């Protein structure tokens, strides 16, 4: 019985890491699409193409990955009793920030689809660094468990 529970935990952990990779790929890809989308004329066929690409990244990659990452992450945290540990709280704060970032990206996608270009390409390129930096901190919290 103990071995079966241990194997279940490992499979859940593997699935969690796989979906984190999918999520991060989408978080890196979408702002890059925004850079190119902003160069398209509002209302043009090219604008429509970028809008469709962004919608697909959100619908096919980002939203499903976000849900699976959260569900599996919480299940794993409960299984190992991480809810009372400092490293988990720090990790959770960064995951919440990445979740908020994704919601912001979805909103910016809607703005671009309507022809509103609020940010420069340079600003969008800088924003594209957020997921990578957050992922670095999250990995340190999970692996090193500094507190």
Give the span between the Cα atoms of 62 and 24, in whole angstroms: 8
How distant, in Å, are the alpha carbons of 38, 77, 78, 118, 124 from that of 90? Answer: 35, 13, 16, 31, 26
Q: Which of 134, 18, 144 is nearest to 87 (CA)?
A: 144
91 marked as part of a ligand binding site: yes
Q: Element (H or E) spanning 13, and its range?
A: helix 2-38
Give the span between the Cα atoms of 96 and 81, in whole angstroms: 19
Cβ pair 118, 89 in contact under 8 A: no
Q: Which residues are annotated as a binding site for heme?
A: 16, 91
Q: Which residues are annotated as a binding site?
A: 16, 91
């Amino acid at each position: 019985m103990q071995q079966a529970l241990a194997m279940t935990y490992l499979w859940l952990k593997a699935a969690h890491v796989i979906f984190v990779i999918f999520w991060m790929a989408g978080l890196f890809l979408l702002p890059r699409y925004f850079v190119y989308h902003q160069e398209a004329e509002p209302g043009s066929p090219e604008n429509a193409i970028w809008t469709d690409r962004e919608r697909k990244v959100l619908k096919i990659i980002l939203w499903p990955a976000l849900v699976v990452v959260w569900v599996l992450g919480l299940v794993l945290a409960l299984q190992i009793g991480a809810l009372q540990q400092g490293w988990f709280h720090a990790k959770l704060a960064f995951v919440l920030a990445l979740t908020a970032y994704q919601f912001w990206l979805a909103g910016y996608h809607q703005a671009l689809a309507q022809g509103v270009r609020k940010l420069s390409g340079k600003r969008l390129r800088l924003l594209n660094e957020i997921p990578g930096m957050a992922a670095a901190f999250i990995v340190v919290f999970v692996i090193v468990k500094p507190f």
